[in-house]
Amino acid sequence: MLPKVETAARVEEVKSLCAERGLDPAVFALIETAGGVLSADSIATADATDALVFGAEDLAADVGATRTDEGTEVLYAREHVVLAAGAADVDAIDTVYTDFSDAAGLREDAKFARTLGYDGKLAIHPSQVTTINEAFTPDQDEIEWAEAVLAAREEAGREGRAVFQVDGEMIDAPLVAQAERIVERAAAADR
């Protein structure tokens, strides 16, 4: 976990220092400054970067923003980090939820992060891990939808069709990709 990353060169430097010592760690670049957010694209594409991690608390302090329950003061940065990670095909890990006694708030925040495209979320306290895992694990309805989409894709492929429907919904490549992600997440959670 590499804090306050503002350049791709920083990630590469740390990876090189580790290699000199015979280490090959996964590098999670914390994007938690204005400079880091503005450089997220190049940080994400650095060969040594395995994941981008969004850090809302330090970012707010860096730019002089006041943290709110809604999070609108960091929403642009939160979205930018997940977009940079997605474009570079590295994982995106969302910021901590600081009130570790508020499981309901954490659940909603983690679900929101998932809808933005995040792959996971940092926990500030061990009691948060189960709630975060549940939020990022597809439920049975999502799994059934995804499996139906992938089965229908196979049938459509045999018939030479790229677009098809499942339960009256037109399905094309973006929804197939979403179904694949759901199945992958379900498998990772042994669901």
Give residue limits of the domains in the chain: 8-136, 140-188
What CATH code is assigned to 8-136? 3.20.20.60
Distances from the Cα of 71 to the Cα of 1, 30, 59, 66, angstroms: 23, 18, 12, 9
Please give the angle made by the CA atoms of 112, 117 and 119, to the nearest 5 degrees. 95
Residue 77 buriedness (CB in 10 A; 0-12 / 13-18 / 19+):
buried
Using DSSP, state whether 48 is helix, strand or coil: coil
Phi, psi at 43, each rounded to 5°: -65, -45
Contacts 24+ apart (CB under 8 A), 61-66: 62/32, 62/33, 62/34, 63/34
Alpha carbon 57 to chain centroid, angstroms: 17
Handedness of CA 47, 31, 174, 150 (dihedral sign): positive
pTM value surpassing 0.85:
yes
Q: How far apart, in whole angstroms, are the C-alpha atoms of residue 10 and residue 123?
A: 25
Q: The tokens of 170 are what?
A: 């037109």
Q: How does pLDDT run across 148-190, given as a tens digit for each residue?
A: 999 999 999 999 988 899 999 999 989 999 999 999 999 998 8
Q: How does pLDDT run across 32-75, given as a tens digit for each residue?
A: 999 999 999 999 999 999 999 999 999 999 999 999 989 999 99
